[in-house]
Chains A and B, each alone.
Chain A
Amino acid sequence: MNYIEHTGKYFIMLKQVFKRPQKGVIFYESLVKEIEELGLKSLGIIMFISFFIGGVIALQTALNLDSPFIPRSLIGFAAKRSIILEFAPTFCSIILAGKVGSYITSSIGTMRVTEQIDALEVMGVNSLNHLVLPKIIATVFFYPFLIALGMMLGIFGGWLAGILSGLFSGVDYIEGLQTDFKPFFLVYAIIKTLVFAFLIATVPSYHGYYVKGGSIAVGKASTQSVVWTTILIVIANYFLTQMLLT
């Protein structure tokens, strides 16, 4: 199957996904479960990585700006921009594409190969709507909070790294954070996160839903879904940056 066919099939899938849920109670239960599986269970990894990467960004910036003519507040400024504009929305989304994407593909793919999806269809359930829509809603609504938390912890990690290493003072760092603060950058980061969250929910779902074969096929589909989600995030990141910041 070529790329055009896959793209067409993906959009046909989305048409089935975006239908009114058949039973509100069941949809709500699935949504709560997905928020826990796809959102809350990703909190730890995002917090951990954001904190340490924030520290590394601040340290690297400090070590590379050793000229006495460059103000030390530039470290906080550069760390803030890097974390808000790219690290939190884009790199955290790529991390989530790996963690959550493989989970979505393997869980839906296993349902496919064990005929659980056929069982839903025979009952008269719109399986795509039942399985995928709660995932989309959960990621699109929850990931902006997750990414915002990533931003805060990244910036905090940078501050703590400076204090502990003695490379820059807390006062300089905070001054840098406050310099030329543009609220639109936060909006930009959130818009990117929403698009990436949609991709993280739908691309792995597509790979899982249309898997054919057995457990090996599910494993391969998981790998493919992570690769494709990452590629699409990177491409979307480029276009969004060009559209929103230039």
Chain B
Amino acid sequence: MIEVKDLRKGFGDVQVLKGITASFYPGQTSLIIGQSGAGKTVLLKTLIGLHQPESGSISFDGRINTNFSIEEKRQWRQEIGMVFQGGALFDSQTVEENIMFPLKMFTKQPQSEMLDRVNFVLNRVNLENSNKKLPAELSGGMQKRVAIARAIVMNPKYLFCDEPNSGLDPSTAIVIDNLIQEITDEYKITTVINTHDMNSVMEIGEKILFLKNGRKAWEGSSEEMFKTDNEAVVNFVYSSNLFKKVREAYLNETK
């Protein structure tokens, strides 16, 4: 479980996160949504330790990350999996080398065991027979799957995804969403996803955190999102005619 308390972060004179408090639970897919500039990426990067918070705390199963010793921090890093927006695959390495990299760096497993693990996670993301390909030879969806495979290869307790569907067609986006949700359920991972994709919100949003101007403006499930009368959420999520109609239909059906 990840608990965020009164988290604040700014850059120079600009305060980006203005006291965010939230909890993310194991086996649950939590989504952070909000307009561009709302602070989603900064929140995610602060959660994974790429930014240092100015104040507030983030605890991972009761362990506050700013209090970690070097050894604890190293251990904590290995409990984290991250899927970056563009995949962030090492472009000079093959798919197999990319996924094997954390294993080689942090474990003492023999090569054959590492290879078995790589093949297992590649199989898990439905990407067999691509071991020797370079990232540039893969489609966007395949690159995202490799990124997910690399993120889960160390059996993380916490999985973070930054816009996992950006640049993907709707059907591939659904495949990626379902894959993340399945993995979250299967391994009881605490998953936090930063997204703009409203299809994802409706499909896999077990818990949704809506940010506005660096503050938490709303929190709830995708079902609650249909019913909410929070103006900021309604204006953001149901800004398109399609979603407006979907909401109206849902509300009429559940009356």
Residues of A in contact with B (beta carbons under 8 Å apart) = 22-23, 25-26, 110-111, 114-116, 118-119, 121-125
Contacts and interface: CB of A to CB of B under 8 A. Distances in A.
A114 B105 contact: no
Interface residues of B, number: 22
Contacts of B50: 118, 121-122
Contacts of A22: 105
Contacts of A114: 86, 88, 91
Contact of B89 (A110, A116, A121): A116
Contacts of A121: 49-50
A123 B77 contact: yes
Contact of B74 (A25, A111, A124): A124
B91 A124 contact: no
Given A23-B104, A122-B48, A115 B86 contact: yes
20 contacts: A25-B104, A26-B104, A110-B91, A114-B88, A115-B84, A115-B88, A116-B88, A118-B84, A119-B82, A121-B50, A122-B48, A122-B50, A122-B80, A123-B77, A123-B78, A123-B105, A123-B106, A124-B74, A124-B106, A125-B105
Nearest to A130: B105
Given A114-B86, A114-B88, A124 B73 contact: yes
Contacts of A26: 104-105
Nearest to B76: A124
B131 interface: no
Contacts, number: 48
Given A26-B104, A115-B86, A122-B80, 9 more contacts: A111-B90, A115-B88, A118-B50, A119-B84, A119-B88, A121-B50, A123-B102, A123-B106, A124-B78
A115 B50 CA distance: 11
Among the interface residues A23, A26, A119, which one has the most CB atoms of the partner chain B within 10 A? A119
A16 to B, nearest CB: 14
B85 interface: yes
A111 B73 CA distance: 24
Interface SS of B by simple majority: mixed
Contacts of A125: 105
Nearest to B104: A26
A116 B84 CA distance: 9
Contacts of B74: 124
Contacts of A119: 82, 84, 88, 90
Among the interface residues A25, A26, A114, A125, which one has the most CB atoms of the partner chain B within 10 A? A114
Contacts of B104: 23, 25-26
Nearest to A107: B92
Contacts of A110: 91
B105 A122 contact: no
Given A124-B73, A124-B77, A124-B78, A118 B88 contact: yes
Contact of B77 (A23, A25, A122): A122
A116 B87 CA distance: 8
Interface in B39-64: 45, 48-50
A26 B100 CA distance: 11
Interface string B5-24: 00000000000000000000
A110 B91 CA distance: 10
B51 to A, nearest CB: 11
Contacts of B73: 124
Contacts of A23: 104-106
A22 B108 CA distance: 12
B86 to A, nearest CB: 6
Contacts of A124: 73-74, 77-78, 106
Contacts of A122: 48-50, 77, 80, 82
A25 B90 CA distance: 18
B162 to A, nearest CB: 8
Contacts of A116: 88-91
B140 to A, nearest CB: 13
Contacts of B80: 122
A119 B50 CA distance: 10
Nearest to B98: A119
Nearest to A125: B105
Contacts of B91: 110, 114, 116
What 3 A-B pairs are tightest by C-beta distance, nearest first?
A: A124-B77, A119-B88, A115-B88
Contacts of B85: 115
B134 to A, nearest CB: 14
